[in-house]
Amino acid sequence: MNIDEGRLEARLRRLFGSLDARAGFEERVMARVASLAAQRGTVRTDLRAQFERRRELTRRRLRREAWSNGLGIAGIGVAAGALAWHYADVIGRWLIEPAASGQVDPMLAASISLMAVGAAVALVLWRPSRLLG
Amino acid sequence: MPADEAIVQLIQAGRAEQAFERLVPAYRRRVIGLAYSVLRDRAAAEDLAQEVFVKLWRALPRYDGRATLSTWIYAITRNAAISALRTRRRSVSLSDPAVLAEVENREAAPEPGPGDAALWRHVEALPEKQRQAVILYYQDERAVDEIAAMMGMPVNTVKTHLHRARASLAAALATVGGEFP
């Protein structure tokens, strides 16, 4: 390295050696990050409140639907009971007498079995409480 | 680097906030230097460094250690600086006489001393990669391999850039000896 290059090295070190941020840079970064963290916290709280509101509304709607469905089923049950009571003679002749004599109509037995299976499946699947989470 | 190991351990322990508090002082000068070597404007480099640290703060919990911490930080800084430079080039037209006058008169050098303005003009005239290598090398007398990591290029390429830059500047020094007290 000749003398000019040695001087050049020293000049370049002097020129760029002082290259740094102004005083307080780290404090400014930390303040900015703290402000962003606070904003992020507020957004998170808002989202959580919104989620809770929606969840409560869903819970109420499902409860209402469960009540109306229950009332509907109870009504149908009462109507079916009243009809069975009213037509007890006919039902007795149609169902109980053949059963007692061991002569069950295959179509009737298949229909009753199908109804029982359908009711069981409906009971298993119909659980609005699962949607409440 | 031991400081890096401690920072990575904190991240892996889920203490990203504490890791960040250590990372800022450890990388402040390097991020500023890298940003400055691309942007050549001290205030812009500092603004960009702040943006880079905010990005790092957001990304730190997701740092997976696949790249070393320094390589990861340099890549983020380099990309942000190049992106900022592109934005500035789009928004500033040198055909505008007012902008041209401002560019010519701006105090580009970090801390100009006597005769430094002339030296800075020669550094400015160097090709981009040579200029970046010179600024990073003389900012903190860094090892060439660290500069290679900062610039994202092989060590030998950085050595070549530095060698050519020194030769150009020495030639300029010999030509205009009076400007260099």
Domain hosting A114: range is 87-133
φ/ψ (deg, to 5) at B109: -70, 150
pLDDT band at A69 (very low <50, low <70, confident <90, very high): confident
B49 min Cα distance to partner chain A (Å): 9
Residue from B138, B161, B179 to probe the interface with A (highest A Cβ count within 10 Å): B138
Return the residue of B nearest to A27 by Cα: B24
Binary contact (A8, B173; C-beta < 8 A): yes
pLDDT at B109: 46
pLDDT at B93: 52
**Any idea where the domains of chain B sit in the sequence?**
1-94, 107-181
Average pLDDT over residues A92-110: 76
Instruction: Specify if A34 maps to a domain.
Output: yes
Q: Which helix (H) or strand (E) holds B50?
A: helix B42-59
- Check: pTM over 0.80? Answer yes or no: no
How far apart CA B66 and CA A123 sit, in angstroms, is: 52
Same domain? For A61 and A101 the reply is: no
Instruction: Specify if A57 maps to a domain.
Output: yes
On whether the B107-181 domain is CATH 3.40.50.1460, my answer is: no
Give B10-66 pLDDT, tens digit per residue. 998 988 889 999 999 999 999 999 999 888 888 899 999 999 999 999 998 889 888
Same domain? For A93 and A132 the reply is: yes
Select from B162, B143, B134 the least CA-distant residue to B37: B134
pLDDT at A64: 92
Instruction: Specify if A2 maps to a domain.
Output: no
Pinpoint the alpha helices (H) of B40-178.
Answer: 42-59, 69-91, 97-105, 116-125, 128-140, 144-151, 155-175
How far apart CA B66 and CA B158 sit, in angstroms, is: 24
Return the residue of A nearest to B140 by Cα: A17
Mean pLDDT of chain B: 82
Interface of chain B against chain A, CB under 8 Å? 20-21, 24-25, 28-29, 32-33, 36, 42, 46, 49-50, 53-54, 57, 109-113, 115-116, 119-120, 123, 134-135, 138-141, 166, 169-170, 173-174, 177, 180
Binary contact (B166, A8; C-beta < 8 A): yes
pLDDT at B105: 47
Instruction: Specify if A27 maps to a domain.
Output: yes
Count up the domains in chain A and report the number.
2
> Up-side HSE of residue B138: CA atoms within 13 Å toward CB?
23
Contacts of B166 in chain A (CB under 8 A): 5, 8-9
Same domain? For A127 and A93 the reply is: yes
The CA-CA-CA angle for residues A66, A67, A70, to 5°, reads 85
pLDDT band at B112 (very low <50, low <70, confident <90, very high): low
φ/ψ (deg, to 5) at B156: -65, -35
Interface of chain A against chain B, CB under 8 Å? 2, 4-5, 7-9, 11-22, 25-26, 28-30, 32-33, 36
Give B14-25 pLDDT, tens digit per residue. 888 899 999 999
Instruction: Specify if A117 maps to a domain.
Output: yes
Count other C-beta atoms under 10 Å from residue A28's C-beta.
15
Contact A11, B166 (CB under 8 A): no
Binary contact (B36, A19; C-beta < 8 A): yes
Instruction: Specify if A15 maps to a domain.
Output: no
How far apart CA B31 and CA A19 sit, in angstroms, is: 11
Same domain? For A95 and A132 the reply is: yes
Return the residue of A nearest to B110 by Cα: A19
Same domain? For A92 and A63 the reply is: no
Same domain? For A67 and A26 the reply is: yes
pLDDT band at A129 (very low <50, low <70, confident <90, very high): low
Average pLDDT over residues A65-84: 89
pLDDT at B154: 93
Return the residue of B nearest to A2 by Cα: B170
Tokens linked to B67: 């790249």
Which candidate from A4, A17, A21 shows the least CB-CB separation from B46? A21
Give B79-107 pLDDT, tens digit per residue. 999 999 888 877 655 455 544 454 444 44
pLDDT at B110: 53
How far apart CA B121 and CA B106 sit, in angstroms, is: 11
The sign of the dihedral angle between the CA atoms of B66, B68, B74, B76 is: positive
Q: How far apart, in Å, are the Cα atoms of A7 and each of A3, A69, A111?
A: 6, 93, 106
In this structure, CATH architecture of domain B1-94: Orthogonal Bundle (1.10)
Give A9-64 pLDDT, tens digit per residue. 888 888 888 788 888 899 999 999 999 888 887 888 888 888 999 999 999 999 99
